[in-house]
Chains A and B, each alone.
Chain A
Amino acid sequence: MKRLFTIFLNGLIVENPLFIIMIGLCSALAVTTTVANGIGMGVALTFVLVMSEVIIALFRKLIPNSIRMPIFLVVIASFTTIMDLEMKAYFPALSKSMGVFIPLVVVNCIVMGRVEAYASKQPVLNALFDGLGMGIGYTWVLIALSVVRELLGNGTLLGIQVMPSSFSPMIFFILPPGGFLVFSFWMALSNQLRKKILAGRKPEPTEDSCCTLPDIGSAEKA
């Protein structure tokens, strides 16, 4: 149980998909202009990630190595379409504001990366917790980014005006350069936190060597 919990926690900071593995950045920067979009995208990606990881971990012994990529894609695309349809039917407003980014979850590198590097080699329970950890790790970063960007760039939070009316919105934060800037500040904070966590932890060999990075320095290479 403790082992599963560690797998889950790993995704939040120590192996955060955005800050440490640094994949899936494009959609993360693109959608985080409003908090509602950030939450929507985070939940959508978590759903697809968990379902795909569980299914692929379950069938990992029945997937021939040479055609594993197309099979992963079929599984991921199926779950993305299912989620897209369900959202259109039951959360039309959210589906409308997310637009093209939902179908693009299919090609999100986080899903493909975790499925290939983790779920295809691990038992179902591990994959489930990895998916949850990575998904929530992705979601919190999106929310953190979008809170700053929506607040400074538009003066609102979740569409509600919070800044005084004398505040003139800095459109810079909504635009891509502002996204990169906010992203880098959050990344610096998160890496500081990660250093502290790693310092308090005994060095232990983990099962998946591919995605555990020994220190911050190697993040640049990823």
Chain B
Amino acid sequence: MKTWQMIKLGLILAIYTTVGCVGLAFVYNSTSKTIAARQAADLQSALRDVFPSATRFTPTDKVVSSSSAVVFQSAYMAEGSSGPLGIAVQVQGSSYGGATVLLVGVSTDGTITGVKVIENKDTPGLGANAANPSYYVDRATKTTFPGQFTGKKVTDPFIVKEDVIPITSATITSRAITNLVRIVGKAASDALGIGTTAQGPKAVLPEADAVRASAKAVSSSAPGVTILETSIGTKAGAIIGAAATAKAKGYDGEITVLVGVSTDGTITGVQVLECTDSLGGSILAPTFAQQFTGKKAGMSLEVGTNVDAVSGATFSSKGATALVKATADALFKALSGGGL
């Protein structure tokens, strides 16, 4: 009796769910085409917004995301009447309230041509202002939050509260969007063949008049630190310092730095070349790397005591500091031991 009752109830529930599903299937069928058409039209109009003079958009797979947390959903090569204009990337990353989708346009000269917020699920009235066309970060010039990226160079630091004006009370949204724009800018400029970091070891060895690659490899004793390339700086034929690029794990990505050390162990220059941490992009700012100049190899470098962390990226700052120290120590050891 009980079993029979249970089967009966199950069947009744099944009937209700079936009717519900059939009803939904009908509604889905009648609306899915309209929804798809609307989304395609949205994308087209957004593409046209970032590249107004383009005549044709062709899908491309040349752009690759440098971070696993950031997904490039689609990328388009914008072509005008006189050749390629740039690349537009539809990118998805996480923000305060879930996934955020942007369309970012990068022109062939390394300028951001426009940023459109396609999808944003952040708090209405706060983070959602990123997509609000009448929310201005600068009321005087009527600049919206995504609007302020237009015209910026991909080599700019992209740091919220420095060269990017945040949305009031929505710092996390502002950082997430800025980070996505920066990553797309870098990936697109790499794909377009306009390198963003082409200065090389000479930049961190200002005293040297010639820089050559080292014949011997330098390795660091610190765990997790990989030294990629070593070069020697000379002045009038004598070795005055060495530089190396090194890589280590950051918070959830990888950090690459370029460190220059003189023969007396003074750090002559540091550049943070790459940081794929999800919120660590702000340590790419030159102001962070400049702190190391003049410090000695062998001395302790610690965030909070003699190195200032970049706010919002403490873990990445700590990681980069340890990496700089390990690299400088290894270089100094090699220099003083004559191992180069």
Contacts and interface: CB of A to CB of B under 8 A. Distances in A.
A203 B24 CA distance: 45
Contacts, number: 77
Interface string A98-138: 01100000000000000000000000000000000000000
B34 A97 contact: no
A84 to B, nearest CB: 10
A77 interface: yes
A200 interface: no
A64 B131 CA distance: 47
Interface stretch (A30-38, A181-189, A191-199, A214-222): A30-38
Contacts of A75: 16, 20
A92 B9 contact: no
Contact of B31 (A74, A85, A97): A85
Interface string A142-183: 000000011001101001010001000001001100000000
Interface in A71-91: 71, 74-75, 77-78, 81-82, 85-86, 88-90
Contacts of A154: 125
B68 interface: no
A96 B132 CA distance: 11
A66 B121 contact: no
A47 to B, nearest CB: 13
A205 interface: no
Contacts of A77: 20
B17 A74 contact: yes
B31 A33 contact: no
B34 to A, nearest CB: 4
A210 interface: no
A89 B34 contact: yes
6 contacts: A33-B123, A77-B20, A85-B35, A88-B31, A92-B38, A149-B125
Interface of A: 30-31, 33-34, 37, 64, 66-67, 70-71, 74-75, 77-78, 81-82, 85-86, 88-90, 92, 96-97, 99-100, 149-150, 153-154, 156, 159, 161, 165, 171, 174-175
Given A64-B9, A78-B23, A100-B121, 19 more contacts: A33-B123, A33-B124, A37-B124, A71-B16, A75-B16, A78-B20, A81-B27, A85-B32, A88-B35, A89-B34, A89-B38, A90-B34, A96-B131, A99-B121, A100-B98, A156-B134, A165-B139, A174-B126, A175-B126
